[in-house]
Structure 1
Amino acid sequence: MDVGLTVGDSIARMAATVEGFDLAEFSIGEGTDVDEIDRNRLDEVLSEADADLCVHLPFKQVAVTPVTEINDAIRAYLTRLLEWAGAQGATKAVLHGTARNPHDTDLRPAFADQLSAIGGIAADAGVELVVENVGHQKRGLPLTVLGDLARETETAVCFDVGHAYMEDGHDGIDRFLSGYGDLVSHLHVHDARSRGDTHLPLGAGEIDYGIVAEELGGFDGTVAVEVFTDDVALLEDTRRRIESHLAP
């Protein structure tokens, strides 16, 4: 198991926090011209930390709409970003599981087609696509729907524990991992409170990570600590906690 950090779109934040972690998950902002990202500095920071690179694809735009021409444009846009990620040596790319209307059952076949196509684009670029659960958000597919579509399309999952808790509490975490845990290749870990606080250090919220340990003990994928702080001591504490939960 490799444990890293989400660092947003800031190479400076990566440089300040990633030392001692196995990977950095770098976000590509919506509308970002990837050719303007300082590749040399990015490579330098990763090399100095001996860390791998993952990327998070833009999250404001949905993955699928009812309009074929828009879906074509989304794939073309993501092709450019995934080719950049592959050239940069990224191992995984996170895509939010979103749709214009996530509760429109008629749109689900189109989502499956879109997910398969984007996964193929990623594979051609040498990157593993992982689809993330964001069912607590307005455009996010519900947990079970996302799991069913990921299985149908043979797409790996980025399971965000905090997002699942915000959507459906501990029951949601348990049901998803018991039904789809074999699809999980990448984890986002943070703590949360039902009142709306999220992306907290582990131990600062309400999530029982023992549930995750029961289903994913001995996990051999990648983990990104997604705690919204630059306090390295807090980030490292969350790393130690998740390692203690998931260690073989």
Structure 2
Amino acid sequence: MSWIGISSKALSRLDEIEEAINYGFSGLELMSEGDQSIEIVFDKLKEIKSSFEIEITVHAPYRGVNPASPSEQKTCLRTWRKVAELSSEISDYLVLHPGRVANPNFREDHLRVSLDTFSSIREELEDLGIKGLVENLPKSKRNLGWSPSEIKEFLSLGFDLALDLGHANTHRLEEFLSLKPLEIHLHDNNGKEDEHLPLGKGTLELGILRKFKRVPWIIESRNLREGMESFDVLIELGLIG
């Protein structure tokens, strides 16, 4: 892989990134939510990037932000724009969720709204010099983007892919393997629920990572200790050196 990072969701505070770097991680993906919102930690992120010379990517907030809801579309775009402007100073990528379905009977309508939301921000991201990555979600009648067919609709707009292998493991993982992601998200589960287990504790076939060794890998663990546990598994399997 070009580098391996850890999601800030695993860190109780950003200062823990130093411990992660000393362990072997070379990057951080900021989940821009709550007290780790990019507006709050922006100066700290610039300091971290400069001090440790690590890679940083940013994941846009998804709680309370739904690009698939007509009533939330303007708020979603406003939030994404604000995050994108700051992200462009420290990151090449901004990860976006395709959204949630309020009524499964109107799934196609929600998908069209989400595609419109993504389309509305695409040129702005290009102007900022940052790539928008759509992330596949775990299988659920309430989630958009858990199937390759839906994800391909976002890719057709000019977005790239953040392939979450844990999420893909909940629905025909093999169907995602022909896609060409720019980033990989890593966590494990037993094939049915989005459990975010340490690697090796579920059914995810880790050997497929050899197919994606040219792109960044982000370990999405529940805490730093489990992130380190997953890191060790990758070493034991010879997937990282």
TM-score bracket for this pair, using the shorter chain length: 0.7 to 0.9
Residue in 2 aligned with 1:128?
131
Q: 1:33 to 1:95 in 2, by over 3 A?
A: closer
Q: Could you say which structure has the greater relative contact order, defined with CA pairs below 8 angstroms and 6 or more residues apart?
A: 2
SS class of match (2:113): helix
Change (3 A) 1:221 1:228: same
CA RMSD between the two structures: 2.8
Cα pair 2:200 2:230 within 8 Å, conserved: no
**1:38 Cα deviation (Å)?**
5.3
Match of 2:205 in 1: 208
Shift of 1:158: 0.8
Residue 7 of structure 1 corresponds to 8
Deviates more, 1:76-85 or 1:198-207: 198-207
Task: Check whether the contact 2:135–2:162 (CA below 8 A) recurs between aligned residues.
Answer: yes
Residue in structure 1 matching 2:147, options 138, 143, 148: 143
Please say if 1:219 is aligned against 2:213.
Answer: yes
Q: Percent identity?
A: 19
Are 1:75 and 1:118, in contact at CA under 8 Å, matched by a contact in 2?
A: yes
Q: How many residues align?
A: 232
Residue correspondence of structure 1 range 180-219 to structure 2 within 5 A: 181-182=179-180, 184-194=181-191, 196=193, 198-210=195-207, 212-213=208-209, 217=211, 219=213
Q: Whole-Å Cα distance in 2 between the matches of residues 228 and 31 of structure 1?
A: 17
The residue matched to 2:162 in structure 1 has which SS? Answer: strand
> Greater shift after overlay, 221-230 or 93-102?
93-102
Matches within 5 A, 1:14-33: 14-19=17-22, 20-29=24-33
User: Secondary structure in 1 aligned to 2:82?
Assistant: helix
Q: Deviations over 1:1-21 (max 9, x none)?
A: 221111227312323323432
Give me the whole-angstrom Cα distance separating, in 2, the residues matched to 1:116 and 1:239. Answer: 37
Question: What are the Cα deviations for residues 180-211 of structure 1, in whole angstroms up to 9, with x where unaligned?
Answer: x12x111101221246472222222211123x
State the one-letter code of the partner of 1:85. S
Give the alignment of 1:66-81 within 5 angstroms: 66-67=70-71, 70-81=72-83
The structure-2 alpha-carbon separation of the partners of 1:152 and 1:77, relative to structure 1 and needing over 3 Å to count, comes to: same
Structure 2 equivalent of residue 50 of structure 1: 53
User: Would the aligned equivalents of 2:6 and 2:25 in 1 still touch at CA under 8 Å?
Assistant: yes
Residue matched to 2:177 = 177
Question: Can you give the 5+ residue segments of structure 1 that lack an aligned partner in the other structure?
Answer: none
Other structure's SS at 2:169 match: helix
Stretches of structure 2 lacking an aligned partner (at least 5 in a row): none
